[in-house]
Structure 1
Amino acid sequence: MIKNITVIGSGTMGNGIAHTFAQYGFKVSLVDINDESLTRALQTISGNLDRQIKKEVIDESVKAATLNNISTHTDLKEGASNADLVIEAATENQDIKLDLFKQLSNICKDGVILASNTSSISITKIASVTKNPANVIGMHFMNPVPVMRLVEVIRGYATSDEITNTIMQLSTHLGKDPVEVNDYPGFVANRILMPMINEAIYTLYEGVAGVAEIDTVMKLGMAHPMGPLQLADFIGLDVCLAILKVLHDGFGNQKYAPCPLLVNMVTAGHLGIKSGNGFYQYTSVNKELIVSSKFKS
């Protein structure tokens, strides 16, 4: 039975995953490399719980119980040695993930399930550095994790039926809608989404229309809740670029080649919401995100 969860990485996805499991009564060890990151994560979780209270989704007692279920750690062994399930939500970098999973394979107890929240990196590749590839799987949550219902459950080449079924059932227990997919570049969500975002960037790059116009067409014409350029800012332009590189390398098809404008923006440090500027500029007033001023090409 899964009781103890370890989440590695306390950024946007990691703290959202920790929040969700803790809210559903699991004991969560949140691991990151420094105390400052962990303190920010707990502040973010507390703020998100306050929003749920304001919307009358939960009450104060649920907030208190959720926060009480989370412990923080800067030592990987201390945070992961007792885990029944480890979910890695570190930077979307293959070398970092392979190193983490190799360590986890030596640190964790027998029978542990090792999951990655990767949005594009091969689960089969990640599993290959562990002692038990059958117990390695992908759990690709969507942002914001406490709100979005989809979990893309990715089977590596060696992932067992038992582990897959366990993760599917666990995701349902969290109030999510899990969808099982196989391990190919980009899986399903990003194999479809990223070429659309990339094409939207090319449409801007080639001067077909401006940022607001492109996003308006997709929102009003295609019923998308958020335009592709604003969505790219929300995801992180560096993350979009990393995923497109995985798709381009994996399929060798020019249609996945990242737009030069995207490459230049990431090089310049214009990463979207996380840096305060991307295709839009962002400011925060009373903890509410304000989107302003159209991107100037």
Structure 2
Amino acid sequence: MSLPKTIAVIGAGVMGRGIAQLACSTGAVVRLYDVRPDAIDDAIAFIGKMLLRQAEKGTIARADADRQIANLHAAATLTDLADVDLVIEAAREDLATKQQLFKELETIVGKDTILASNTSSLSITALAAACADPARVAGLHFFNPAPLMKVVEVIPAVQTAEVTVARLTDFVHAFGHRAVRAEDSPGFLINHAGRGLGTEALRILQEGIAPVEEIDRVVRDVIGLKMGPFELFDLTGMDVSSAVLTQIHAGFEQDPRLRSSHLARRQVEAGRFGRKSGRGWYEYDGDKRIEPNEPPSNADLRPVWVEPNADASSWLRTLVVAAGAPLDTGATPDDASLLLVSPLGQDATVTATALGLDPTRTVAVDSWLGRGKRRGAMTTSVTRPAYREAARAVLTADGSRVTITHDSPGFVAPRILANIVNTAADIAQQRIATPADIDDAVRLGLGYPMGPLSLGDKYGPTHIVAVLDAMADFYGDPRYRVSPWLRRRAMLGVSLLTPES
């Protein structure tokens, strides 16, 4: 399938200039249009500077840079776009504005010209419906900065022809990015998948289970993401993130899985947007985030009794002995011993009660995800501080760090991981995208160490289902209902990446 030889980019802002730079790299002639002529001039100068910088670094040959710069032109009016093969619109995020633009373009360009929108949130189907020929309209969603973010969502409307999708996919591959197909739905693919992290982090904070900095530490150190959810909110801007959270929740008819929190709205009302306002979930000194220090570990060691029938009993006993604490090996614990339990999905209170243990001395340890450089633990509602700190001393004796939270079914890391995986699984269940596209899109677009379905495979679908079921039972909230995609593959013992046969 032939690539477009002439491409128009409408909108010379940050996204438009990045898209135009990529379009130039395919060898096409690129025409850049904006209602502000000075913005076009600035964008062309910027793109030229970027291309020459690539040539200086040896990323591209100087002759290629010169050729691409020569192929980039300003368009004074929309009529200058009459002969283009592809239009990529990156204008203001307003449906009526885009519909009017596309209707006008249809009277100017040829009948085979594709009309693509870089919208991040508006309905492609509604945009296409305003056109005389909706079959040639599709979404082509780039991420900022477009040259560096190596994924692009190709989004067909209900009316879009398959040939349009195929031509756009080939175009994306021509400049070396990964094209992922996402059906037209709120948030498309990547923004939808990203809700799994932020919404559950907000719920954990709202419930008073852990403070912002500890949630972020767990997500970084245990799950392995580059940034915690609140760091990410501060980077993107809470005003932007809160609007996306609300929009996707409403778009899916208030699906409880995607429910946000009043805490997000409160941050916006307070003007605490994040880095750009100097205050967000964190305080900032210039660009430097001010993060509270981790609690010290300076408690005295005391005898420790370990739940005998848990899967992690041997691991926990080894930690206790290595820490130098006396190991209570009695069938029932002594009256002064610290009591360590390791539930999966249940909270510390439920576990202590079921085992007949003294809840004032009980601390639960996450033995599923918390065996690495950061461990997770939680107290019951009445655990005495001396026993909490004794647990901290044992769990950090070998140099590991620990996050000790208030009681929660599932701990912090398992809750967030389960929500990330469950959200992605339901995207697959709804056929919004293929499993392979979901994994690649999230890895490339959100910077996860691996795709969410691969994360589910790594840590075990049956464990994730167990955590979700336990939370659903405890809270009685359909937010934690297990996606059919996830439950069936867990029951079958197959990878979450397994497509429907």
- The answer to whether residue 31 in structure 2 is matched with residue 29 in structure 1 is yes
Superimposed CA distance per residue, residues 212-239 of structure 1 (whole angstroms, 9 cap, x where no aligned partner): 5544432332222333344445545454
The match for 1:224 is 225
- The answer to whether residue 111 in structure 2 is matched with residue 110 in structure 1 is yes
Shift of 1:63: 3.0
Tell me if the contact between 2:202 and 2:260 (Cα under 8 Å) persists in the aligned partners. no
Q: Distance in 2 between matches of 1:67 and 1:278?
A: 40
The match for 2:287 is 291
Tell me if the contact between 2:141 and 2:154 (Cα under 8 Å) persists in the aligned partners. yes
Matched letter for residue 159 of structure 1: T
Tell me the SS of whatever aligns to 2:59.
coil
Cα distance change, pair 202–6 in 1 and its aligned pair in 2 (3 A): farther
- The answer to whether residue 21 in structure 2 is matched with residue 8 in structure 1 is no
Identity %: 36
The match for 1:171 is 172
Cα distance change, pair 264–179 in 1 and its aligned pair in 2 (3 A): same
Shift of 1:260: 4.3
Measured on the aligned residues, the alpha-carbon RMSD in Å equals 3.2
Tell me if the contact between 2:79 and 2:108 (Cα under 8 Å) persists in the aligned partners. no
Aligned pair partner of 1:58 in 53, 57, 60: 60
Which deviates more from structure 2 when the two are superposed, residues 267-276 or residues 149-158?
Answer: 267-276
Structural mapping, 1:43-82, within 5 Å: 43-49=45-51, 52-53=54-55, 55-73=57-75, 75=77, 77-82=78-83
Matched letter for residue 292 of structure 1: K
Matched letter for residue 168 of structure 2: I
Structural mapping, 1:85-96, within 5 Å: 85-96=86-97
Which deviates more from structure 2 when the two are superposed, residues 24-33 or residues 216-225?
Answer: 216-225
Cα distance change, pair 91–205 in 1 and its aligned pair in 2 (3 A): farther
Which deviates more from structure 2 when the two are superposed, residues 248-257 or residues 187-196?
Answer: 248-257
Cα distance change, pair 260–96 in 1 and its aligned pair in 2 (3 A): farther
Tell me if the contact between 1:92 and 1:239 (Cα under 8 Å) persists in the aligned partners. no
Superimposed CA distance per residue, residues 190-215 of structure 1 (whole angstroms, 9 cap, x where no aligned partner): 111135334445656776323x5544
Tell me if the contact between 2:103 and 2:130 (Cα under 8 Å) persists in the aligned partners. yes
Tell me if the contact between 1:194 and 1:243 (Cα under 8 Å) persists in the aligned partners. no
Shift of 1:28: 1.3
TM-score, scaled to structure 1: 0.81
The match for 1:84 is 85
Tell me the SS of whatever aligns to 1:86.
strand
Cα distance change, pair 280–72 in 1 and its aligned pair in 2 (3 A): farther
> Matched residue pairs, number?
288
Q: Distance in 2 between matches of 1:247 and 1:260?
A: 15
TM-score, scaled to structure 2: 0.50
Shift of 1:276: 7.4
Which deviates more from structure 2 when the two are superposed, residues 150-159 or residues 52-61?
Answer: 52-61
Shift of 1:130: 0.7
The match for 1:286 is none
Shift of 1:189: 1.0
Tell me the SS of whatever aligns to 1:182.
coil
Tell me if the contact between 2:135 and 2:159 (Cα under 8 Å) persists in the aligned partners. yes
Q: Distance in 2 between matches of 1:10 and 1:279?
A: 32
The match for 1:287 is none
Cα distance change, pair 257–169 in 1 and its aligned pair in 2 (3 A): same
Tell me if the contact between 1:278 and 1:295 (Cα under 8 Å) persists in the aligned partners. no
Shift of 1:128: 0.4
| Bigger proportion of residues as strand | 1
Higher alpha-carbon Rg: 2
Aligned pair partner of 1:18 in 17, 20, 35: 20
Structural mapping, 1:189-228, within 5 Å: 189-200=190-201, 208-210=210-212, 213-228=214-229
Tell me if the contact between 2:237 and 2:276 (Cα under 8 Å) persists in the aligned partners. yes
Tell me if the contact between 2:75 and 2:81 (Cα under 8 Å) persists in the aligned partners. no
